[in-house]
Amino acid sequence: MTGKCVCATILILAGCAGAGAQCPTGTLAVIVNRSNSTESLSIAQLRRILIGDVRAWPDHKSMAVVARDPSSKVSQCALSSIARMSEAEYHRYLMSAEFRGDEPMVIQTVDSDGSAAHVVAGSAGGIAIVDLSSLPSISSSVKVVRVNGKNPGEPGYPL
């Protein structure tokens, strides 16, 4: 390889490694309906929820996944940090699951964190991922769930 190719390769790899940096930890929060008994979820559990492998809570209530529109920073960060997929990969994954004969996953898409909180508050099985900065205005209507045993803002919080 020439020096220029090596430099270009390093820059490309550095850019790819930095792609996740656009979603710094400590920017997202998981909310559920206030009646939900779940207090904490692991990243692995959240991933299984997002990809449709888990569709009911331990008390057998159906989950109602509420997501921000795919173009939002919240949606993109949630998919990259939890599902480890881009929006296009996620869409393909859900479509291939349906093609394999799995029951289609129903996700209600909303345009704001306030709308997500409103839908979650009105659905016993509701769950959504929102921007941490919106919690002060929505937290009275929903419950914030710990992730990997940590509350948003605590050291080691993964989202």
DSSP helix/strand/coil, 145: strand
For the stretch 52-70, pLDDT in tens is: 899 999 999 999 999 999 8
Q: How far is CA 128 from CA 64, 101, 144, in A?
A: 9, 26, 10
Amino acid identity, residue 147?
A: V
- Residue 149 CB contacts under 8 Å (≥ 6 apart), including other chains: 40
- Enumerate domains of the chain plus CATH numbers: 24-147 (3.40.190.10)
Distance separating alpha carbons of residues 142 and 120, to the nearest angstrom: 7
Percentage of the chain modeled with pLDDT above 70: 86
Mean pLDDT of the chain: 84
pLDDT per residue as tens digits for the range 81-111: 999 998 889 888 888 877 777 787 889 999 9
* Segment 110-136 mean pLDDT: 95
What Cα–Cα distance (Å) separates residue 158 from each residue in 28, 40, 41, 75?
9, 13, 11, 16
- Looking at residue 9, its pLDDT comes to 30
Look at the chain and count its residues. Answer: 159
pLDDT digits (tens, 9 = 90+) for 27-58: 999 999 999 999 999 999 999 999 989 999 99
Q: How far apart are CA 132 and CA 140, in angstroms?
A: 14
Backbone phi and psi for residue 123, each to the nearest 5 degrees, phi listed first: -130, 120
pLDDT at 157 over 80: yes
Tell me what pLDDT residue 22 has.
63
Helix (H) or strand (E) holding 121: helix 113-121
pLDDT of residue 16: 36
